[in-house]
Structure 1
Amino acid sequence: MASHDAEHPAGTGRLLTGVAWVVLLLGLWLWGHGATEGPGGSSAPMTGDVAAVGRPLGVPLPPARAPLKPAGPSTVEIPSIGVRAPVVMRGLDATGAVEPPPYATPRTVGWFGSGTRPGAEGTALFVGHVDTASEPAVFYGLSAVRPGEKVRVTRTDGSVAEFTIDDVQVIGRDRFDAHKVYGVRQPGRAELRLITCGGTFDKATRSYTANVVVSAYLTDARGI
């Protein structure tokens, strides 16, 4: 599926504010618990808080790079888990949740197109399925990434923004803090969040019990 880079009025590269921001955060939380068709053919490698890595001491991390001029994403690559996927722009559904990619294309990644563009100052949000009813999906291995590993986003202007992972968490519903999870960690940086379902699958509610949240920040760029 082709990627999209719709033009927005000045200022829409920033995340929504006020009531719309609150609705977005709530919707993102809900998305992680009800937007799945259930486990695929093998058990997902997420085991709740046991899988959380956080920010271990002693892992050297490079300095942040200055943010780039805004440009939309076309592909996302996570070399450590073998992911290279096209990006599709997604909006909000009727409940205020970010629309995940269609189940017909489980190997695509959704980008919240009304928010920050990857590489620009702020936090760009990417969502992907962990599985479908029959198979693992694009972010099936997301909880296996580790701080110090890279995420590369090829952008529609031909540049490649390289992010370094600095935090990996599997966050249960009882510990979820939307502003902490999706907000900017350090002002002035270009940041990235990769989000999918995690924890265990509850057959009664047809949803997962947690979210996998991977945080990264811009450390390099090519082709600018």
Structure 2
Amino acid sequence: MSEERTGGVNRLLTGAAWVAMLLALWLWGHDITVDEPISAAPKTGDVAAARRPPAPGLPPAIEPLPGAGPKTLIIKSMGLEAPVEAHGLDAQGGPEPPPYERPNSVAWWQDGPAPGSTGAAVLTGHVDTKQSPAVFVELRTIKRGATISVVRTDGSTADFTVEDVSLVDRKHFDDQKVYAPREEDRAELRLITCGGDYDRAKHLYTANVVVSAYLTGARQVPVPAPAPTPADGGSGGGGSDADA
């Protein structure tokens, strides 16, 4: 890692509510080149509401969850557990990633779907900073079929299964293929960071790593039972037992 690298998402735009997202994405290009092919994302109306069978070896999708914001991102296969911050767009219409002083945090575009809700929720993070590796430094190594978990503000945990990992050239970035949901009425997740080569002259990476996943499980954290309250009048009969 070069000391000049600034990491980040390098003008990466987020948003699974892609109609709104397109208003910002025009700022930095529309063509597509994908080093490793990803499934073409359907335009609205191109897919039926009925779900497709899962890809071979992958579990079926489950119904989307009620809306709740993300708190923590967990990828056990990578040894990753990171806090999630809600962010909007910056002044140029790009994403507002976590600040460099919090390189191990992840940003969620709060104007798009929440992880677990219908649509494609987008989480972004730095790959490195000038000082050190950052939260998504190993994101490119995640495997198809891996589980990504998102702990949510309602106490539930949404589990997503990775269906593919792509390296998308920044010069030919297709917002629809990356951000649009691949299936109607499905809860999906995109994890995105910088990838490819580092251009020292421009101080940015040449590509983006895009991890696509979909909701396959949900767990509710048990609510702790309330502490027992003393019985009216106390338990006076137990005092003599302490004399032993």
Please report the TM-score for the alignment, with normalisation by the length of structure 1.
0.78
2:42 corresponds to which residue?
none
Query: Could you tell me how far 1:115 is from its partner in structure 2?
Result: 0.6
Instruction: Find the counterpart in structure 1 of residue 24 from structure 2.
Output: 24
The answer to whether the Cα contact below 8 Å between 1:90 and 1:111 also exists between their aligned partners in 2 is yes
CA deviations on 1:143-197 (whole Å, 9 max, x unpaired) are: 0001100100000000000000001001112442111111001111000000000
TM-superposed deviation, 1:15: 1.6
Question: How much has 1:134 moved relative to structure 2?
Answer: 1.4
* Structure 2 residue runs without a partner (length 5+): 1-14, 40-54, 222-244
- 185, 189, 210: which one pairs with 2:186? 189
Q: Residues 2-29 of structure 1, C-alpha deviation per residue, up to 9 Å, x if partnerless?
A: xxxxxxxxxxx97263xx42133346x6
Asked if 1:216 is matched to 2:218, the reply is: no
Cα distance between partner residues in 2 of 1:163 and 1:223: 15
The C-alpha deviation readout for 1:81-114, integer Å capped at 9, x for no partner, is 1110000000000111110001000000000001
CA contact (8 A) 2:190 2:211 kept: yes
- Confirm or deny: 8 A CA contact 2:16 2:181 kept in the other structure: no
TM-score (norm 2): 0.72
Q: 1:117 to 1:59 in 2, by over 3 A?
A: same
In structure 2, how many angstroms separate the alpha carbons of the residues matched to 1:190 and 1:25?
Answer: 22
SS at match of 2:137: coil
Matched, 1:129 2:126: yes
What does residue range 45-124 of structure 1 map to in structure 2 within 5 Å? 49=35, 52=36, 60-124=57-121
Q: Are the aligned partners of 1:151 and 1:164 in contact in 2 as well (CA < 8 Å)?
A: yes
In the alignment, what sits opposite 2:17? 15
Maintained 8 Å contact 1:160/1:223: yes
Q: Is the CA contact (8 Å cut-off) linking 2:120 and 2:179 kept in structure 1?
A: yes
Work out whether 1:176 is the aligned partner of 2:178: no
Q: Is the 8 A contact 2:18 2:179 kept in 1?
A: no
* Unaligned residue ranges in structure 1 (runs of 5+): 1-12, 31-47
Q: Contact conserved, 2:121 with 2:190, CA < 8 A, in 1?
A: yes
Secondary structure at the counterpart of residue 208 of structure 2 = strand
Q: Partner amino acid for 2:215?
A: L
User: Please, what is the CA RMSD of the aligned residues?
Assistant: 2.2
Identical residues among aligned pairs (%) = 51
